[in-house]
Structure 1
Amino acid sequence: MTVAWIYPGQGSQAVGMGRDLRNWQGAAQKLALARQMLGWDPLDLSEDQIHQTGYTQPALFTVSALLTDYLYAQGQAPACTAGHSLGEYSALYAAGVFDFETGLRLVALRGQLMEAAGDPPGHMAAVMGFDRDKLEHLCQMIPDVTLANDNSPDQVVISGSVEGVQAVCEQLQAKRTVPLKVSGAFHSPFMQAAAEEFAHTLRAVDFQPPRVPVYSNCTATASRDPQALKQALLAQMTAPVRWRETVLHMAADGIQEVWEIGPGNVLTGLVKRTVPALARRTVSSLSS
């Protein structure tokens, strides 16, 4: 069966995630490196830290990367990879585009910049059960709000100013809207200053040709061109996550099963709602 490995982003974290990875000898060297680079243990976040972007992004990347290493050590390999938002870094690591140290350095910087990008303050909300045409119209008409995550046919996330997001939620009359506990308006123009600062570091990183195609968030298509993958990652912080389209393209490209590598099962749930025929599996711990 043709399998894609997919990687969750922020929102899938949980206290205690990845702790059983300490039991795998193959994780010891990278865990020691992560503790040295970060100054804290990515497998031991507190209840307070788990909600802080500067902590959760490096921790999620570490857990996903180590689970990836374990799968490879068991003789498993994907036909392609993809990740949702932060998960795109794990997908690039899994494809061999950069090494663990480089990925962790990038993710730690990304988390710090995004956490600091709260002036002016931004807001995000998940929207379920809505009229897509009306949503797109409202995002065009109401200032400072955009579609940030196109997750599935019936679930999206909007991002922007507090006033703009609230106005869209009020006028859309969706089945359900849920404000998100985030430190900024991610995947929107509110991240422009953070994106420009991050780009100075990212441009200097040498991307290797991937061993398998990688789907990018901002294009929803797969590539084996390292420069195309870098350009897509440069755009990612301010561009929408086109996850629904990514899943549709995977199915059209012949993928038959997806494995969600990392804590939770958010992405497999979105896959089920987008292409129910795709088989699904979660790998959130060594035991799974």
Structure 2
Amino acid sequence: MNDEGFFISRPGSQRVGMGGELFTKYSAMTQQANHILGYDIAELCLYDPDKKLGQTKFTQPALYVVDALNYHAQIEKEKSEPSCLAGHSLGEYVALYAAGVYDFDTGLRLVNERASLMSEVGGGGMAAITQITVDALLEILRVGEGLDNLDVANYNSPTQTVVSGDLEQLKKLSTMLREHGAQYYPLRVSAAFHSRYMRDAESRFSHFAQTIHFRAPNRPVIANLTGQPYPSDSDAIRGTLTQQISNPVRWVDTIQYMLDAGISAFEELGPGNVLSKLVEGIRQSPKQQPLSQQRVSHKRVTEWSPEKTLAAWASENQKQPSPKEQCILLCPGIGGQYFLMGRKLYENSGVFRQAFDRCSTLSEPLLGESLSLLVYSPLDPNATLSRTLHSHLANFAFGYSMIEHLRHQGIDPPVWWAGV
């Protein structure tokens, strides 16, 4: 081990000819990939005769294979292994493979399923935004009229952010950004990746991932979802990897964590050097509080119900508690449930969403449908969760997820009270 971090490329870095002689050098792994995918991976990467390399369904498996082979080649060359790993978006799957979380075949099956599901999502787009700070961009997205269907997909550097969502709203955003001197670059993608539009694909991928046992990483792998090391528990790894599909890539937090941990050198694996340039930009910028660690202030709360937004909840509880003050949370009972309750939390809090989706997975055999999709993607937003089974499970999932979210924020009251 050395004080070096490896990071692995992301979709968009693929090009015809990638992999080169690696397919011959690692012929056994290449043949394994051919068997799993059902096509010649070397032919796709080296020649792309049918012009499929740019399609998500083929891009992701191709990059996974090439990056995995690159990793083995780099280890053989350097005669040592990195002390820390990270991957941007798809690259995270290679980082987990390199850390021993699963074998090459399992990783490729996961990637192939992910690619297949994501390729079925149509519509939407993405754009890279530069020459504007993250805070300034987030403020535009917050107050800009007609931008409510846009999400941040990648926090790539202090002055480069990728936005994902509705195509018409992306056009509106580009006009607003010009007024602020920012640069807008539309990306050539088929859908709005790392956004709310990927939730159905994420839910279906979660079911597939249930069949996989994940081993604890043998070295830190910094997660896109949190900007923190992956957990060691199999279920927690599964949840973190699954939620990455519809959540933003926190690349700034990831690299900053590695820098703070004493990583002195970075090696980019895979085609291109885009990530290396992003790392230099992060190095040279003043250190900021990681987005994944920004928290609401600890407030003394009198009541919480799903009707209240986080902003309303915070504004009603301005008084800062002394160390001796107790926080008593009141959870709603039957009759307090409704479609889209806690939507902002589900969209913005990875901890809340992971907890709710865990409840959804466990309850699906009873409901015969996904609780997450039922609550947060309803066909009729004006309807109510009136059936007893649905209302009980929805209220429990909301309450459990809220508790997990608040504990993650450092709020763990000694007293809880719930309605019937």
TM-score, normalising length: structure 1: 0.90
Residues 173-224 of structure 1 deviation map (CA, whole Å, 9 limit, x = unaligned): 2432111111110000000111111110112211111110110001011135
Which structure is higher in RCO with an 8 Å CA cutoff and minimum separation 6?
1
Structure 1 counterpart of 2:134: 132
Residues 258-278 of structure 1 deviation map (CA, whole Å, 9 limit, x = unaligned): 11111111111100111149x
Shift of residue 115, structure 1, vs aligned partner: 1.0
Look up the equivalent residue of 1:30 and give its one-letter code. M
User: Per the alignment, in what secondary structure is the counterpart of residue 49 of structure 1?
Assistant: coil
Which of 197, 218, 222 pairs up with 1:211? 218
Distance 1:183 1:7 in 2: 22
Is 1:190 paired with 2:235? Answer: no
Is 1:220 paired with 2:223? Answer: no
Shift of residue 90, structure 1, vs aligned partner: 0.6
Shift of residue 72, structure 1, vs aligned partner: 3.2
User: Per the alignment, in what secondary structure is the counterpart of residue 3 of structure 1?
Assistant: strand
Structure 2 counterpart of 1:285: none
Structure 1 counterpart of 2:75: 72
Structure 2: give runs of 5+ residues left out of the alignment. 286-420
Residues 124-182 of structure 1 deviation map (CA, whole Å, 9 limit, x = unaligned): 00111114333102323421101100101111110001122222221122432111111
Structure 1 counterpart of 2:277: 269
Which of 259, 262, 273 pairs up with 1:254? 262
Shift of residue 18, structure 1, vs aligned partner: 0.3
Shift of residue 244, structure 1, vs aligned partner: 1.0
Residue pair 1:150, 1:240 contacting (<8 A) in 2 also = yes
Distance 1:247 1:198, change over 3 A: same
Distance 2:214 2:239 in 1: 11
* Between 207-216 and 220-229, the greater mean CA deviation after superposition: 220-229
Is 1:12 paired with 2:13? Answer: yes
Residue pair 1:139, 1:147 contacting (<8 A) in 2 also = no
Query: What is the number of residues matched between the two proteins?
Result: 273
Shift of residue 78, structure 1, vs aligned partner: 0.8
Distance 1:51 1:209, change over 3 A: same
User: Per the alignment, in what secondary structure is the counterpart of residue 89 of structure 2?
Assistant: coil
User: Per the alignment, in what secondary structure is the counterpart of residue 211 of structure 2?
Assistant: coil
Which of 136, 149, 154 pairs up with 1:149? 154
Structure 2 counterpart of 1:167: 172
Structure 1: give runs of 5+ residues left out of the alignment. 278-288
Q: State, as a whole percentage, how many aligned pairs show the same letter.
A: 39
Residues 40-96 of structure 1 deviation map (CA, whole Å, 9 limit, x = unaligned): 222332172121011110000001111112233442201011000000101000101
Q: Which has the larger radius of gyration?
A: 2
Structure 2 counterpart of 1:283: none
Structure 2 counterpart of 1:233: 241
Look up the equivalent residue of 2:269 and give its one-letter code. I
Is 1:36 paired with 2:38? Answer: no
Which of 101, 115, 129 pairs up with 2:119? 115
Residue pair 2:133, 2:158 contacting (<8 A) in 1 also = no
Distance 2:203 2:36 in 1: 23
User: Per the alignment, in what secondary structure is the counterpart of residue 102 of structure 2?
Assistant: coil
Look up the equivalent residue of 2:264 and give its one-letter code. Q
Is 1:101 paired with 2:105? Answer: yes
Distance 2:207 2:230 in 1: 23
User: Per the alignment, in what secondary structure is the counterpart of residue 50 of structure 1?
Assistant: coil
TM-score, normalising length: structure 2: 0.63
